[in-house]
Amino acid sequence: MARGFNAFENAQAQFDHAADILSLDRSARELLRYPLREYSFAVPVRMDDGSMQVFRGFRVQHNDARGPCKGGVRFHPQETLDSIRALAMWMTWKCAVVDIPLGGGKGGVICDPHHLSNREQEQVCRGWVRQIARNIGPDADVPAPDVMTSAQHMLWMLDEYEQIVGGRHPGMITGKPVGMGGSLGRTEATGYGVVYTLREALRELGCAPRETRASVQGFGNVAQYAIELYQELGGTVVCVSAWDQADQTSYAFRRAGGVDLAELRGLADRFGGVDKGKARARGYEVLEGGAWLAQDVDILIPAALENQITPDNVGAISERVKVIAEGANGPTTFDAGRALDERGVRVIPDFVANAGGVTCSYFEQVQSNMNYYWPKDEVLAKLDRAMTAAYAGVASVAKKHELHLRDAAYVVAIDRVARACRDRGWL
Ligand code: NAD
């Protein structure tokens, strides 16, 4: 497999590059290049037709030197242990770069919720928790929603955990429904966080959001709220790409004057899929899925999946693109990232741009542990402050050491994690 196309190899290549910049010693590299712990297990589920189906579940704890592991649980038919390893590692850097006292973890189940009833999805959630309950918890490892998992899935997981250990432990999981231990603002947090960092990058470039146009990959949680806030700041989104469930492929939906967010939301299914027939009927130009990348825009927001910007398609990105705000985790392969750096495109790396989700999850944990909940404007104001400070910290290291943003972010994050490991006597 070519370097950069395996998410874990990609994460390690990025780490190695930053470790060289930091002149990190051999033992620190050995410790941080791999997860501390990983669990791979079976999740047997009684299906609605009475048959048993065994799903594969994972939890990877990359590093917890700075605090309990934190990271989502994904439901995806193409999930692999390597992609979970990469995502767990990125969570470690993400928590460190925004300076919250948490480590990095990630989990998943190989399954397609499109083909599971609600009862079957509940059984997958409960089965996953039964296998891992001893190794997670408010002080050890705190899961959260991710691709194709929701607040309802988190509540089933919490309920199963509480049945196993007894008592009420809302701080065991985040992304819970509001009113059941969830935080106001969590739904918006990742997408808004992407735009808080984008706003700061545009400020650095002396560019007003209202003078810019953007193209977005994905129309799920992250993409929709990124579009919402970017449009509130005056920006124009001309193209959105999403998965079409009926055709089992993605399409890009373009409208030169700007997409109508409310209208597109009305066309989307609950997984962020958009039906091409309905979009065409509303006057959207329907292009092949990859076309989102080749638009004549100032900003690209990849907010769907990993490994979307590769050496094969990086050349299709318009000369006009100034900023890429990585909403998704790992959307740019290592080599494509280098090519963008050489072209002078400002890439706000995933673990900075999309850190709003985990930052708000941390706020949720704090509120759940206190059993006292803040109003939404307070949550979002705290989030904006944390994201703005994280971007400023990374941008200042980039400037001081003449680094690209991804390298600077790695330097900030790895330095903090390695220091915590050293202080604990692990190195
Ligand atoms: P989601 O499941 O809500 O949405 C995913 C979107 O991607 C959907 O609109 C789907 O139609 C689209 N999609 C899938 N395959 C596609 C393809 N080939 N081409 C174009 N679009 C495609 O997921 P989400 O929560 O929005 O997460 C998106 C990304 O952001 C993931 O990489 C996730 O790990 C990352 N992320 C999410 C959060 C969060 O809080 N939700 C936090 C940090 C990072």
CATH class of segment(s) 34-169 = alpha beta
CATH class of segment(s) 187-353 = alpha beta
Q: How many Cβ atoms sit within 10 Å of the Cβ of residue 26?
A: 8
* pLDDT value for 7: 86
pLDDT digit string (tens) for the chain, length 427 residues: 344 468 899 899 989 999 999 999 999 999 999 999 999 999 999 999 999 999 999 999 999 999 999 999 999 999 999 999 999 999 999 999 999 999 999 999 999 999 999 999 999 999 999 999 999 999 999 999 988 999 999 999 999 999 999 999 999 999 999 999 999 999 899 999 999 999 999 999 999 999 999 999 999 999 999 999 999 999 999 999 999 988 999 999 999 999 999 999 999 998 899 999 999 999 999 999 999 999 999 999 999 988 899 999 999 999 999 999 999 988 999 899 999 999 999 999 999 999 999 999 999 999 998 999 999 999 999 999 999 999 999 999 999 999 999 999 999 999 999 999 999 999 9
Ligand 1 centroid – CA 199 distance (Å): 21
* pLDDT value for 199: 98
Ligand 1 closest atom vs CA 268 = 9
- Identical topology for domains 34-169 and 187-353: yes
* pLDDT value for 1: 35
Report how far residue 88's alpha carbon sits from residue 71's, in angstroms, rounded to the nearest whole number.
Answer: 7
* pLDDT value for 390: 98
Q: Which residue in the list 106, 176, 376, 382 is annotated as catalytic?
A: 106
Ligand 1 centroid – CA 288 distance (Å): 18
Ligand 1 binding pocket, CB closer than 6 Å: 146-148, 190, 217-223, 241-243, 250, 271-273, 289, 303-305, 327-329, 354, 357
Catalytic residue flag (residue 106): yes
In a mutational test of the pocket of ligand 1, which residue from 10, 90, 97, 146 has the highest number of ligand atoms less than 8 Å from its CB? 146
SS3 state at 257: coil
Q: Is the pTM of this model over 0.85?
A: yes
Q: Please report where in the chains the tokens 């410790």 appear, as a residue.
A: 31
What residues contact 426, with CB distance under 8 A and at least 6 apart? Answer: 31, 65
* pLDDT value for 279: 95
* pLDDT value for 147: 86
Q: Which residues of 32-45 are buried (b: 16+ CB within 10 A; e: fewer)?
A: bbebbebbeeebeb
DSSP string, 201-232: HHHHTT--GGG-EEEEE--SHHHHHHHHHHHH
Q: Which residues of 225-259 are buried (b: 16+ CB within 10 A; e: fewer)?
A: bbbbbbbeeebbbbbbbbbbeeeeebbbbbbeeeb
Report how far residue 408's alpha carbon sits from residue 398's, in angstroms, rounded to the nearest whole number.
Answer: 5
DSSP string, 181-201: TBPTTHHHHHHHHHHHHHHHH
* pLDDT value for 3: 43
Report how far residue 48's alpha carbon sits from residue 118's, in angstroms, rounded to the nearest whole number.
Answer: 10
> What is the maximal distance between C-alpha atoms in the chain?
63
Ligand 1 closest atom vs CA 329 = 32
**φ, ψ for residue 251 (rounded to 5)?**
-130, 155
In the chain, domain spans: 34-169, 187-353
**φ, ψ for residue 17 (rounded to 5)?**
-60, -45
